[in-house]
Every structure is written in C-alpha cells, then in structure tokens.
Amino acid sequence: MRARHILNALYFFAHTVMDFIASFLQNIPVLRNLMQWEQKKLLYTDKRGLQCIAPLFQSVKETPRPIPTKITGDIPKWIRGNHLRNGPGKFEFGNDKYNHWFDGMALLHQFRIEDGTVTYMSKFLESESYLTNSSYDRIVLSEFGTTALSDPCKTMFDRFMSVFEIPKETDNGNINYACYKGDYYVSTETNFMYRVDPNTLETKDKVEWRKFIAVNGATAHPHYDPDGTVYNMGNSYGKHGSSYNIIRVPPQKLDASDSLQGAQVVCSIAPRDRMRPSYYHSFGMTANYVIFVEQPIKLDLLKIVTLKVTGKSLADALIWAPDEPTAFHIAHKLSGQILPVKYSAKAFATFHQINAFEDQGCVVFDICCQDNGDAVKIYSLQNLRKHGEALDQTYNMVSKSYPRRFVLPVAVDGDTPVGVNLNPLSYTSAKAVKRDDGTVWCTHENLYDDSLEELGGFDFPHINYSMYNAKKYSFVYGLSLGHLIGDSLLKMDVETKVTKIWRESGFYPSEPVFVPHPDATEEDDGIILSVVITPEENKSTFLLVLDAKSFTEIGRAEVKVQIPYGFHGVFTAN
C-alpha cells in the first residue's frame, strides 16, 4: 500500500514538472510557434479514421454494351468523344489471388460523350495473361507482385526444373493508353502492347517492341511532338548489363498492318550500375531535348533472374538506395547526342513528370517527387483492404508526393565558374551550382504552398498538353492522395502557387484529364474530366465535368456500376 502511495506521488510530481515546463516553453514565442507547428504537422501527417476503401479494390464484371447515365447539371455540347480509362478489374482466378494492386487484370472503361449525353461501357483486355488464367481458372502467369506457382499437372521433375526459369513477361496492359501512328494501344511497362478500338474497346493485335528495336519494353507514358512523332524510353538487358534507351516512333503509317515499323533507338544511356539500373515510369521532353531521371529506385537484375528459385516477385527486386543521389541525363531528340554535363540532386523518387521547357539556356523540369522510394511496395491489396487503425497506419507509412521544379543549365564547361548559382531565371528559386568535380548540383523549388501538405500531397499531374507541353505554362491539374488514393482534385498555379480544390466526402476521383475548348485562347479554357467512385453502396459512380478555369462543377453523369480504382486515361475527340 505504501509503495502505491509513493508511485502515485511520483506520478503527480512528474506531471506537475512537465506542465510547468510546457507552460514555460509556451511563453517563449519562438518555441511556442515551433510547438504549434509540430502539433499541426502531426495532425496532418498522422491520419486517423480513414474510410475503408476495400470495395474499390475488388473484382467486378465487365459492362460490354453501352448503358445510359443519369445527367445532373450540364454536359457541354461541344464535347464529343471518348473518355477512356485503364486499370485493374479482376484480382483472382479460382482460388488464386493476386497480392498487389498493380497485378489485377486490365479492365478498359469508356465514357462516350455526345450532344450532352453520356454512355458507359467496359471490357476486359483479352491479353494472353487474361485468357490463359481464365482457361485454367488459376494464376498461370506472374505479375508485378505475384509469382505464379508451378502447374500441378506437371511431373515432379518438370515442376522442379520450372523453378529455374525466368518468369515470362506479362502482357497485362493495365496502366495507360498511348497513341502510335493514329492507333490506340494499352500497355504496362513490359515488351508487349495491345492495339484496341477506342469506340468498341475491342482487343486487336498484340505488338512486341523487341520485333522492331532492341529494347525489353517501354514506359506507359510516351511524349508526342505536334507532327505525331512519339518519343518513349525503354531498358535493354544483355550479357554486359543494361542500358536506358530513348525511342522515336515516326508519325507515318505505311499500311494497315504497320504498328511500330520505323521505330528506332535515338541513343542509349549507360546506368551508373549496370546490374542495378534505375526503375522509371516517365520522363521529360522539351522542344529539343529528352530528360531522363536516374533515381535511386533500383532493379536488382540478379534478384530478377532468381525470382522463381527464391519464390519472390518482381516487386521484391525493387531496391530503394537513399544514399545514392538522383541524376539527370539530357539528350538531343534528333541527333541523340548526350550532354556531357553531370547533373545531380538529393535522393528522391518520382513516377510522373509534369512538364519541361527551355528558357535562357536552361531546361526547366517540373516533376512530382517523394523523399522515399518504398511507396510502391506499400500498395499491396492486403494494405488497401485494411480498415480502421490498420488503414491509418498504412497511410502514415507512405511518403507523400509534391511538385518540384529543377533548373538544368545546358551550356556548362570547364570555364563555368564553381560555387555560383547558374540559374538565370528570375521566376524560380531553384539552384544549379557547379562543384569542384565538375558536376552540377541541383536544388529544387517547391511549386506549392503549405496548404498542400495539409491535403496530402500532389500526383497524377495533367496539363493542357496539346497547347503547352514543352512550353512555359501556368496550370497543372492533379490529385491529392490524402487517403492512399485520390480524395481531392486540385488545380495548381505554378507561378502564384495558389491551389483550387474539388472534393466530395465519401468519393474518390481519378486523375483529371484536361480537354481544351475548340476555340480556346487561354491556357485553362476547357473542362476537366474525372471518374469519381465510392465504396458506399447507396451512392453512384459518376463522370465529373469541371470548368477548368473556375474549377467548379458543370455537370456529372451517374452510372450504377461498380468501378475499381484505376490508373490513367485519355480523351479521344471525334
């Protein structure tokens, strides 16, 4: 009993001392402001009570014939075409289940807009992965986060030998749409793409990059010149290691069967470590240059060739190396000449570039950055289907993405002074300083104010691409990932850093796609399209139409069909 009284007295004394210290600190202005800022930061970085979003990552059935939608508000009659979306829609076959969000079978969506009306349809991409898995009613082909098990019908010897085979590449094109020579293709990041009909969503022919050029695949985010020339990037792997390749596909189509005919590798860039090349999801392009970011998210090639032996997936071969700086490589689009300047910055991860342009002898490069490269692994289906405190903890593990600007001076040589900021542009505080070893160290400018940190960051950027890609611009549209996935649509002015927000409780928008008004004279004269979904059974999915200038709702087209949360999309006018 006496011991209990002593402990209570000590407990009371400790709290009294702590209260006195806190009161004392509160009366010191600098420390008071610091404490308030830390409390505010904790409030927004340590999420609590997130809504369960598990229904957004469940398998659905396709809607193969167009169905009408319920229009609320107004769908401008000048919009005529297809809003196409891509993403995973089936997460299991038989008793086999996928492990990662990226693994689900590609489900293609179409919102057809015409004369103020909207219809909806969806179809699964009839890839080899989808058809084979369906035929066997099990997962036969491996995906990003799931390694397929050996066929139980094989002999014990065959199953043993199959362990030493390199997993077959998936052709599950569930990331994005891309346009080559007037045809639309869906792809992931492997050697294969599928041509699809944007009007019917019918799966057409399968295309292999390797049949045309010596690469092992290409990104799902190509860039387009005004004449229709397409640029992309892809890795190649050989006995001497790997290389990064800039790809150019001409705009001309020679005949109906021509897909990637005439494609060529403009130049190859050697990785810093050929056995651990950088993973990349996109790249930058200006009027004259291609900009490649060699980030410290690494692909361990030795792990990849031993995946079946170790029972690991491709996701396990990704390594975050925060001690390695990020490097920028610049190459001439036409000649393929690689600039000899070595640009570096502190380690960051990036998946989506915003825009790049040239000004006063510099390349201005805007990208979405994270300070940690482990985010991809966190997006497992097990994590996304959590609820309550477990979901909150998962959210707090993800490094948030923010828009940043880098300035890369092009003309740097032996006569360039050391230790001087080489950025001549008055409208950005980004720095580029040549070091004693000749490298140019780049320090970014944040393209946002403090309010963005409260929202949960910014990613999935879109600009007025047709008019302002590779040009100085003002506006970028994107998602705030304040709930592991997008919970707000954002319009950001990169000059003033003023942000406009669209948000509706219980709804989760997809990336915004900008469609310019046919008579537009201003950068933000047009509309924003976003597919907004919900896990709540008593609410409907809808296609949202925002006025891009005011960022206010014009109308929506509701459809009572469950749509899983997806990745990327395009608008095709016709």
What confidence tier does 392 reach under pLDDT thresholds 50, 70, 90?
Answer: very high
pLDDT at 309: 76
What confidence tier does 153 reach under pLDDT thresholds 50, 70, 90?
Answer: low
pLDDT at 257: 83
Lowest mean pLDDT among 140-154, 464-478, 491-505: 140-154
pLDDT at 1: 42
pLDDT at 240: 64
Lowest mean pLDDT among 19-33, 394-408, 462-476: 19-33
d(CA 448, CA 457): 10
Percent pLDDT > 90 in the chain is 81
CB 166 within 8 A of CB 557: no
pLDDT at 569 over 80: yes
- Which strand (E) or helix (H) includes residue 121? strand 117-124
What's at 541, amino acid-wise?
T
Q: Which string of DSSP letters, residue by residue, matches 548-568?
A: TTTTEEEEEEEE---------
pLDDT at 258: 87
pTM of this structure: 0.89
d(CA 318, CA 373): 9
Q: Residue 393 phi/psi, 5° resolution? A: -65, -40
**Two tokens, residue 439:** 């490298």
pLDDT at 226 over 50: yes
Q: Residue 555 phi/psi, 5° resolution? A: -170, 175
pLDDT at 150: 54
CB 209 within 8 A of CB 261: no
What confidence tier does 3 reach under pLDDT thresholds 50, 70, 90?
Answer: very low
pLDDT at 161: 40
pLDDT at 448: 95
Q: What value does the mean pLDDT of the chain take?
A: 90
pLDDT at 325: 97
Other C-beta atoms within 10 Å of 352: how many? 20
Percent pLDDT > 70 in the chain is 88
pLDDT at 12 over 80: no
Q: Whats the size of the chain, residue-wise? A: 574
pLDDT at 262 over 60: yes
Query: What is the tens place of the pLDDT at every residue in 330-389?
Result: 999 999 999 999 999 999 999 999 999 999 999 999 999 999 999 899 999 999 999 999
Give start and end residues of each alpha helix (H) in 293-435: 301-305, 307-310, 375-378, 381-384, 389-397
pLDDT at 169 over 90: no
pLDDT at 137: 97
What confidence tier does 218 reach under pLDDT thresholds 50, 70, 90?
Answer: very high
Other C-beta atoms within 10 Å of 366: how many? 25
| SS3 call for 272 | coil
Query: What is the tens place of the pLDDT at every residue in 41-100?
Result: 333 344 558 999 999 999 999 999 999 999 999 999 999 999 999 999 999 999 999 999
Question: What is the average per-residue pLDDT within 168-194?
Answer: 95
pLDDT at 28: 42
Higher-confidence residue of 422 and 302: namely 422
d(CA 286, CA 45): 35
**Two tokens, residue 304:** 């990849």
pLDDT at 108: 98
pLDDT at 280 over 50: yes
Question: What is the average per-residue pLDDT within 461-488?
Answer: 97
Greatest pairwise CA separation for the chain in angstroms: 95
pLDDT at 254 over 50: yes
Higher-confidence residue of 185 and 24: namely 185
pLDDT at 116: 96
Give start and end residues of each alpha helix (H) in 86-136: 128-136
pLDDT at 162: 45
Other C-beta atoms within 10 Å of 332: how many? 15
d(CA 554, CA 373): 38
Lowest mean pLDDT among 242-246, 389-393, 450-454, 519-523: 450-454
What's at 487, amino acid-wise?
D
